[in-house]
Structure 1
Amino acid sequence: MSLSSHLNQLKKKHEHLSFEVEQAERSPAIDRMHVKSLKKEKLRLKDEIERLSPV
């Protein structure tokens, strides 16, 4: 897998997590631990994207 396709895949996962976080926060029965884990994963992906992105 090339670096650009790997970065694209990471960006798609990051976008999907953003959507999941929004949906979870809108839910009347918010599971705060689940939202917290989603946000941690989203941040981890963002850090990896930044680390792998060319300058």
Structure 2
Amino acid sequence: MKQKIIEILTGPLDFSLCPTDAYKMYHHTRDCTIPAYLKRCVRLLKQLASSRQCKG
């Protein structure tokens, strides 16, 4: 359920160049594990996807 909500709010995000960073953020940060903070999680994932380390 959480994954579907995040996909709806963010659209397609590409983490092919930084899968470990995305995994750590999605599964181990408070913002992405507590349902009340999902909007924060969306913002963090968007920032990670647009960061220099994920763009290559």
User: Larger helix proportion, structure 1 or 2?
Assistant: 1
Which band: TM-score by shorter chain?
A: 0.3 to 0.5
Q: Relative CO higher for 1 or 2, CA cutoff 8 Å, sep ≥ 6?
A: 1
TM-score normalized with structure 1 length: 0.40
Larger radius of gyration: 1
